Amino acid sequence: MKTVLVTGGAGFIGSHTCINLIENNYRLIVVDSNINSSPKSIERIRQLFKNKSIDLSDLLNFFHGDIRDKNFLNQIFANAKKDKSPIEAVLHFAGLKSVEDSFKDPMLYWENNVVGSLTLFEVMQSFNCNTVVFSSSATVYGITSQKSVDESSVINPNNPYGQTKAAVENLLEGIFKSYSDKWRIANLRYFNPIGAHESGLIGEDPNDKPNNLFPIICRVAGGTYKNLKIFGRDWPTIDGTGVRDYIHVMDLADSHRCALDFLLNNQPQFLNLNIGTGKGTSVLELIQIFSDVNECDISYEFCERRPGDLPVVIANNRKAIELLNWCPKKNLYDMCLDGWNWQKLNPNGYK
Ligand code: NAD
Ligand code: WQD
């Protein structure tokens, strides 16, 4: 059984990926500062497996700490080595992710996301652990007139958050160029992950108020918010509202397991991969599906466009599908059903 380190594993995507990895026979060490998550997500993962009579005490170990703390990371790698289960790969989710906040405090974003990643890669190198799957984002792409973006599209992020993601991708590319006989690297560029684990035990629970569309729709459905403000009704799209590529978080989780398997079973290499469904959905279409599936009304009003928004962002996901033996399986119906199920069962998240 291989041991892997999951940074940011208590967060939204990390926690869902932990479930998939455990189901696929990986032993996990999770580190998280909980700056944007609750350690209770890890307890919920334990509960989920306990319900199936599986005890995770040896398979899932959580350590509270910050990836910028080199001593902390050294200790994690050294202890795993001492226990005769050295860390063989890292899934690197830890990072701050709000575009809006990154404009308010760019230095914090560079420090946390870039310096944190650099510290992690240095420690990995010193323990001869050279396999990493990095959480990148579709936000690294510049504005394009293509119908969907492929991995060769121009990288030109228009916000500090995206710039930190592009910088870490660059850093990894540089590491690969210098040690191309050793490092196995996959930058997964996620599009718009939504939904939750079908059990309703695990889901998205940001510490601050959410900025993204789907958690806001859930809060309107649950009555926490009065209505949804739709940013613009005059985009050049099917109905004037923004079009995005929404992907179920469990499909996204599965792409990590597939990327990890692929890297571990192949030659050292450096990969950039779009992770989306390749299908576009407008804000109004998403509201309609959510209302139909969950039999509820989502009240909304139209507002000004949000600065920095694009009309259409859709993945060309062919490379990931061809290379990884991965394919998204869930549709918007599942995303809306599972996301709302989580929200209904946990109106205050993990609190
Ligand atoms: P999240 O905030 O739920 O999870 C990130 C986790 O990292 C949190 O648990 C947080 O506490 C932890 N963390 C942050 N900085 C840390 C540090 N210095 N040390 C240790 N832990 C730290 O976010 P998410 O939605 O699960 O996203 C995971 C990753 O994927 C992030 O890197 C994010 O930028 C990236 N991403 C997310 C999306 C999205 O829409 N959710 C899209 C593209 C990329
Ligand atoms: C989706 C659509 C909005 C909120 C962001 C990041 C990206 C990635 C995913 C991390 C757009 C509209 C939204 C609202 C609205 N995250 N909207 N009212 O902007 O595609 O991507 O999250 O890497 O980097 O930029 O996602 O969910 O914010 O917006 O009308 O209250 O919903 O205009 O068309 P976005 P989103």
Q: pLDDT tens for residues 177-192?
A: 999 999 999 999 999 9
**For residues 48-76, average pLDDT:** 96
Find the residues whose C-beta lies inside 6 A of ligand 2. 97, 99, 137, 139, 192, 211-213, 216, 228-231, 242, 244, 283, 306, 309, 313
CA angle 6, 12, 18 (to 5 degrees): 40
pLDDT value at position 163? Answer: 98
Q: Poorest-confidence range of 64-73, 143-152, 190-199, 270-279?
A: 143-152
Alpha helices in 265-299 (DSSP H): 283-294
Q: What is the number of the ligand closest to the CA of 100?
A: 2
Supply the pTM of this predicted model.
0.98
Integer Cα distance of 108 and 285 in angstroms: 36
Q: Return the structure tokens found at 191.
A: 């599009």
Active site residue 161: yes
Determine how many CB atoms are found less than 10 A away from the CB of residue 289: 18
Q: What is the pLDDT of residue 101?
A: 94
- The encoded tokens of residue 184 equal 């196995």
What is the position in ligand 2's atom list of the atom closest to the CA of 283?
Answer: 32
pLDDT value of position 147: 81
Phi, psi of 201 (to 5 degrees): -85, -30
- pLDDT at position 118: 98
The one catalytic residue among 161, 225, 246, 350:
161
CB-facing half-sphere around the CA of 301: CA atoms within 13 A: 5
Which ligand gives the minimal distance to the CA of 41?
1
Nearest to 316, CA basis, from 141, 150, 191 = 150
Residue 68 CA, closest ligand 1 atom number: 18
Which of 18, 30, 37 should be mutated for ligand 1, with most atoms under 8 A from CB? 37
State the pLDDT confidence band at 338, using cuts at 50, 70 and 90: very high
Q: How far is the CA of 120 from the centre of ligand 2 (A)?
A: 29
pLDDT tier, 296 (very low <50, low <70, confident <90, very high otherwise): very high
Q: Which of 42, 40, 30 is nearest to 6 (CA)?
A: 30
Token pair recorded at residue 80: 């795993």
Contacts of residue 126, defined as CB under 8 A and 6 or more positions apart, other chains included, come to 74, 77
**Which atom of ligand 1 is found nearest the CA of 212?**
40
Cα-based angle 341, 60, 132 (whole degrees, multiple of 5): 95
